[in-house]
Amino acid sequence: MAYPEYENLLIDRVGKDDQIARITLNRPEKMNSLSQELLFEFRDALENLEPDDTARVIIVRGAGRTFSAGYDLTPTKGTGADAVAREFKTVDDQGRRLWQGIRAGMQRITNIHMYFWNLQKITIAQVHGYAIAGGCELSMMADLVVCADDARFGHPGLRFAGTRTSMILPLLIPMRKAKELFYTGDNISGTEAAELGMANKAVPLDQLEEQTLALAERVANLPADHLAQLKIHMNRFHENMGIYSSVHSSTDLDAAGTFTTQSYGWSDKFKEGGLKEALAWRDGPYQDYSATPRN
């Protein structure tokens, strides 16, 4: 089956009989930050792969030195971000931000994440480098996660905004550790992520591709239709525990979080000195994330 060519993604087939589809986030110069354009392409790629019965498992990975450093805070002008801004008016006639428009735009992105969650394919996130903020959220929507032992998972965006799909974290790891990560925005290593249950396994970086493919091959011993119904079994159980309502509620709160004093402080720093100064203001007290210029 031929797939469309994308500006921000690469798609190839690997494994026995090419039964493993692989999506590579392909913005290495931007640490695979999740622009509107990339996310819309990601959904389109999933929609093309879902009905393809020859693809039993989908691996999602990042090009270059990292999986994804989060949402793109400085998107280029183009059809994606500009279209959302036009469709969902986010300010009134006096230039004041409106919650309804912010929420609508965020829910659109949440729906892409939730489509990935509910896709009728088994998905595996292959994580190296950083999976932070939106990158962490995206990895947690996969069925399985294989990471490098020195990978970093975290959500520094909680230090000036809210969160959306990472609200499934309390279903993955112990409550107190989930609260610690939420209240601090700290990050943890791939090794600790595997110990806590955020990842299935953590392996040395030079073994990551081999180990991810091995797990995908093992899952792919079953045909795509049978795997789909097994996935629905598992997802339905967790959905009955409130994933959908919690994620959409968290998206509402993420939108509302743009009106907190901390969020206004971030906006002021961004306007005064740009992204670099805003990141220094956000992360300076914690002395971390110095190399991750994303949300």
CA–CA dist 185, 17 (Å, integer): 42
CA distances from 245 to 118, 165, 242, 248, 249 (A): 14, 11, 5, 5, 6
251 has pLDDT over 90: no
Q: Provide the 3-class DSSP secondary structure of residue 130.
A: strand
Residue 79 has pLDDT above 50, yes or no: no
pLDDT at 157: 86
Q: How many CB atoms lie within 10 A of CB 77?
A: 7
More confident residue, 215 or 79: 215
Residue 171 CB-density burial (10 A; 0-12 exposed, 13-18 middle, 19+ buried): middle
pLDDT at 87 over 70: no
Report residue 7's pLDDT band, with 50, 70 and 90 as the boundaries.
very high
Residue range 180-202: mean pLDDT, rounded:
95
pLDDT at 170: 84
Structural domain boundaries enclosing 23: 9-286
**With 70 as the cut, is the pLDDT of residue 262 above it?**
yes
CB 281 within 8 A of CB 266: yes
Judge whether 71 lies within some domain.
yes
Residue 195 lies in a domain: yes
The CATH code of the domain that includes 212 is 3.90.226.10
- Mean pLDDT over each residue of the chain, to the nearest integer: 89
103 Cβ contact list (under 8 Å, min separation 6): 251, 252, 255, 256
On whether residue 2 sits in a domain, the answer given is no
pLDDT band at 81 (very low <50, low <70, confident <90, very high): very low
Statement: residue 242 has pLDDT above 70: yes
pLDDT of residue 76: 53
Taking residues 282-294, what's their average pLDDT? 73
Residue 165 pLDDT class (50, 70, 90 cuts): low
Residue 85: inside a domain: yes
pLDDT at 84 > cutoff 80: no
Q: How confident is the model at residue 39 (pLDDT cuts 50, 70, 90)?
A: very high
Domain presence at residue 291: no
Residue closest to 252 by CA, chosen among 107, 141, 68: 107
Report yes or no on 237 lying in a domain.
yes
Domain total of the chain:
1
| pLDDT score recorded for residue 94 | 80
Phi, psi dihedral angles at 27 (to 5 degrees): -130, 60
Confidence at residue 148, expressed as pLDDT on a 0 to 100 scale: 98
pLDDT grade, residue 91 (50/70/90)?
confident
The rounded distance, in Å, linking the Cα atoms of 273 and 282 is 13
Is residue 295, in this structure, part of any structural domain at all? Answer: no
pLDDT attached to residue 158: 87
Given this model, what pLDDT does residue 80 score? Answer: 46
Assigned domain for 30 exists: yes
Q: How confident is the model at residue 82 (pLDDT cuts 50, 70, 90)?
A: very low
Report pTM.
0.89
Q: What are phi and psi of 121, to 5 degrees?
A: -140, 150
pLDDT-above-90 percentage for the chain = 62
